[in-house]
Homo-oligomer: A and B are copies of this chain.
Amino acid sequence: MSSREKHSQLLDTAERLFALKGFEGTSVRDIADEAGVNIAMISYYFGSKEKLMEALFEKRIGHIKMRVENLLKDSSLSSIQKVEMLIEEYVERVMRDKQFHRIMVCEQIINKNPAIINLLKEIKLKNASIIGELIKDGQKKGEFKKKVDVVMLLSVMVGIVTQLMINHDYYRDFNKLQDTPDPEFEKLLQNRVSSYIKKIFKALLVNES
């Protein structure tokens, strides 16, 4: 196993275990053992357990950033179409990176590590401003309502997705979808969540006329 591979193996294992047992509930020994790597490598590569966590956030945080630069420029799309694409992308991303999203939720609640808190604050502000731009654009075009609470809107989207990630298995049980194969259920849930959020956003954003 090469240096790069070990590095990456450690990050992956850490992500899995942090999501499963929490940061404090996971020992560096657990991570090293499961990654098949010497325990000292964690300090060697990352400096400390905390820094390992930060490295994990830095690796994954790009996945959280709204990638809408191109979207914003595309004049062939209506504002609501842009918003819908954004929702789809976000839902897909969270469902794909469930483990990291779980870690992130807990970390926001417990907020101990200042480096991570800052990283998240930064991301949130950036996302809010991007969405804000998109909405202003829609307002100019007369597509969207005049008064829109951006943070509330984002909280709606993020909250719903997060909650359904948490209720993932429970949703399956309650709706008697245990026999649906995993990937199919994932797709189904993802679509439902997407379409729900879109519906909600329409109700909250679009001028009814």
Chain A residues near B (Cβ < 8 Å): 19-25, 102, 105-106, 108-110, 112, 121, 124-125, 128, 149-152, 155-156, 158-164, 166-167, 170-171, 174-175, 192-193, 196, 199-200, 203-204
Q: Tell me which residues across on chain B come within 8 A of A155, comparing CB atoms.
A: 160, 163-164, 167, 171
Residues of B within 8 A of A149 (CB): 175, 192, 196
Q: State the oligomeric state as a number of copies.
A: 4
Q: Is the interface of A mostly helix, strand, loop or mixed?
A: helix
Q: Which of B121, B166, B175, B193 contacts A109 (CB 8 A)?
A: B166
Closest-CB distance, A166 to chain B (whole angstroms) = 5
The answer to whether B199 touches A203, judged by C-beta atoms less than 8 angstroms apart, is yes
Q: Which residues of B contact A21 (CB under 8 A)?
A: 110, 112
Q: How far is B156's CA from A128's CA once the two chains are assembled, in angstroms? A: 20
Q: Which 10 A-B pairs have the closest CB atoms?
A: A159-B163, A24-B24, A159-B159, A203-B203, A155-B163, A159-B160, A22-B110, A24-B25, A102-B109, A106-B106
